[in-house]
Amino acid sequence: MNPHDHEDDDGAEASSASITYASDAPPAGGAPSDGAARSALQGRMALAAKGLFPLLLLAGLLAVFVRVGPIGVFRAAFPPIEELTFERIAFPEPGLVRVHLVNGGPEPVTVAQVIVDVAYWEHTVVPDREVGRLDDIVIDIPYPWVDGDPLIVTIVSSTGVTFTQEVAVATQSPQVNRSYVLTFALLGVYVGVIPVFLGLLWLPFLADVSQRWIDFFLSFTVGLLLFLGVDALEGAFALTGQVASAFQGVGLIVLGVVGTPLVIHAVGRVARGDSAITPLGISILIAIGIGLHNLGEGLAIGSSYAVGEVALGTSLVFGFLLHNTTEGLGIVAPLARSRPSYAMLAALGLIAGVPTIFGTWIGGFSYSPTASVLFLAIGAGAIVQVILVLGRSMGSHGREGLRGPLNAAGLVAGLIVMYATGLFVAA
């Protein structure tokens, strides 16, 4: 896009305002260059008018439509399609079930009754039983839920349409208090921060190997990231079915996967100007990418922990440490020939690891499928950007890039290591 046009959008109104004031008082002097400036401004105004004309017509048409109503043929005799989507079913305390719903359908929906485990139950609705489009509500049901049992909630609308959600295991939901905040934070530290820092300790090893082998480990990193990216994307697509249709789960994925790398790229370009990207720059990008991915991972951990779906086991902890420590290796691989300060290394580790903590908080305390899809897609998008940057840098200065036999082997090795450590996790 032409930057000049871009400027015009924002500047048009202010310029036209100032020209009006100027022409209000022409006798008060009148500079010699007045005519030239005026014609330039007139040109920009004309351009703005050309851009705005279709929008004005559209606004007029919409106004008529709202006032007069839709044309008769658009109306149908059958009842409107109603849609309510469950965002979350929480168990804040014994004897209370709290249901969060959003209306993602085209028409308002009125909540008439609530059925819990196939029994009508009294309840309160906040703020209102009539739920407008894109509005959300919270229903409190004083129901004696049983710890460890499944639970089914059905909402009956005024037209008799039902919306049902099952909870596999009812268990007390985490409350925002010191104990849980700390628990989730520690969870994030173990899951995201510690393994990443462990991986950073490979830097001295990398400093002593040849460029050929550094490229091998960079390719290895690409393999790891590719695995994580596809994993995040798969998770995002799997969730789209639970996103209210108005919020367009697939649309969010496109936005996250395509938008994130472009934004990171643009920000990077503005920050460093025309100079080429440094190894440290690449490492920062990788750290951001892994950090965004870990945010999504934290969400998954927090929400699963909150609904009591995660099982315990030493072998799982073992596998998990193996699995995520590789992320740290990925971050330091581009720095093999640099001498980064300890502070910089720590910063990289924090950028990659700390988002996990935020993820567990968000997932644990206010899980929403919509937010999860977006976060997972952003994570996948960030990884796409990192892979592009790594691939390009490895292909420069006479290096072989990812197509070189050793590097290709490195990439596949990265995929295999992720898969193999994943097997440990699933044990």
Which residues between 19 and 58 bind other proteins (CB under 8 A)?
A: none
Sheet with 109-116: list strands edge to edge.
Answer: 130-131, 109-116, 151-157, 162-167
Q: With binding defined as CB under 8 A, does residue 240 bind other proteins?
A: no
| Nearest CB to other proteins, comparing residues 222 and 299 | 299
* Number of other CB atoms surrounding residue 125 within 10 Å: 18
CB of 23 to other proteins, least distance (A): 60
Region near other proteins per CB under 8 A, out of 41-49, 144-152, 248-256, 329-337: 144-152
Distance between terminal CA atoms of the chain? 52
CB of 50 to other proteins, least distance (A): 47
CB atoms within 10 A of CB 424: 15
Residue 7 found at the interface with other proteins (CB under 8 A): no
Structural element, H or E, at residue 198: helix 194-200
Taking Cα atoms as reference points, which of 407, 379, 413, 385 lies closest to residue 394?
Answer: 407
Please state, in angstroms and rounded to a whole number, the distance separating the CA atoms of residues 160 and 110.
Answer: 10
Binding segment for other proteins (CB under 8 A), chosen from 26-34, 201-209, 248-256, 303-311, is 303-311
- Contact between 91 and other proteins by CB under 8 A: the answer reads yes
Give the whole-angstrom CA distance, residue 344 versus residue 279.
13
Structure tokens at 318: 């073992």
Among positions 199, 256, 261, 319, the unique one binding other proteins when judged by CB under 8 A: 319
CB of 222 to other proteins, least distance (A): 18
- Nearer to other proteins (CB atom), residue 319 or residue 349: 319
Is 234 near other proteins (CB under 8 A)?
A: yes
CA distance 169 to 176: 21
Can residue 283 be called a binding residue for other proteins (CB under 8 A)? Answer: no
324 binds other proteins (CB under 8 A): yes
Residues 368-397 that bind other proteins (CB under 8 A): 369, 372
Among 45, 96, 198, 230, binds other proteins (CB under 8 A): 96
Asked if 76 is part of the footprint of other proteins (rule: CB under 8 A), the reply reads no
Q: Select from 323, 330, 383, 414 the one that contacts other proteins (CB under 8 A).
A: 323
Q: Minimum CB separation from other proteins for residue 216, in Å?
A: 24
Strand partners, 96: 93
Dihedral sign (CA 267, 270, 272, 278) = positive
Give least dist CB 232 to other proteins, A: 8
Q: Which is nearer to other proteins, 5 or 93 (CB)?
A: 93
SS3 139: strand
Q: Among residues 165 and 260, whose Cβ is nearest to other proteins? A: 165
Among 102, 222, 297, 382, binds other proteins (CB under 8 A): 297
Decide: is 231 part of the binding site for other proteins (CB under 8 A).
yes
Least CB distance from residue 164 to other proteins, whole Å?
10
If we measure between CA atoms, which residue out of 191, 216, 188, 187 comes closest to residue 329? 216
Report d(CA 105, CA 113) in Å as an integer.
Answer: 19
319, 427 Cβ separation under 8 angstroms: yes
- Note whether 229 binds other proteins by CB under 8 A: no
Binding segment for other proteins (CB under 8 A), chosen from 56-64, 146-154, 201-209, 337-345, is 146-154
Residue 80 interacting with other proteins (CB under 8 A): no
Instruction: Count CB atoms within 10 A of the CB of residue 388.
Output: 14
| Spatial separation of the C-alpha atoms in residues 60 and 335, rounded to whole Å | 58
Cis peptide before 127 (omega within 30 of 0): yes
Residues in the chain, how many? 427
Give backbone dihedrals phi and psi of 56, rounded to 5 degrees, phi first: -65, -45
Using CB under 8 A as the binding rule, whether residue 83 contacts other proteins is answered as no
Find the binder of other proteins among 16, 45, 47, 113 (CB under 8 A): 113
Q: Which stretch binds other proteins (CB under 8 A): 21-29, 205-213, 247-255, 301-309?
A: 301-309
Q: Using CA atoms, how far apart are residues 420 and 399, in angstroms rounded to an integer?
A: 29
Residue 17 or 126: which CB sits closer to other proteins? 126
Q: Which of 167, 214, 244, 348 binds other proteins (CB under 8 A)?
A: 167
Under the criterion CB under 8 A, does residue 186 sit at the interface with other proteins? yes
Cβ neighbour number for residue 153 with a 10 Å cutoff = 23
For other proteins, the closer of residues 8 and 140 by Cβ is 140
Q: Which helix (H) or strand (E) holds 167?
A: strand 162-167
